[in-house]
Amino acid sequence: MDGLERRVRSGARGLALIGLAGLLVLAIMTTLDVVLRWLFAAPLHGVNDVSAVVMAVVVSACIPANLAFKQNITVNVLGSVLGPRVERGFEALASLLTFIFVALMAWQFVPYAAGLRETGEQTWVLAWPVWPWWSCAAALLVLAALVQALVLVEDIRALITGGNSIAHDEPPAV
pLDDT digits (tens, 9 = 90+) for 115-160: 999 999 999 999 999 999 999 999 999 999 999 999 999 999 999 9
pLDDT one digit per residue (tens) for the chain, 174 residues: 689 999 999 999 999 999 999 999 999 999 999 999 999 999 999 999 999 999 999 999 999 999 999 998 877 787 778 889 999 999 999 999 999 999 999 999 999 999 999 999 999 999 999 999 999 999 999 999 999 999 999 999 999 998 776 645 555 554
| Model pTM above 0.85 | yes
172 lies in some domain: no
Its domain, for residue 139, covers 2-161
171 lies in some domain: no
Domain count, the chain: 1
12 lies in some domain: yes
Nearest-angstrom CA–CA distance, 91 and 117 = 39
55 lies in some domain: yes
168 lies in some domain: no
Q: How far apart are the first and last CA of the chain?
A: 22
What are the C-alpha distances in Å from 134 to residues 36, 73, 94, 150, 154? 29, 27, 28, 24, 30
Residues in the chain: 174
109 lies in some domain: yes
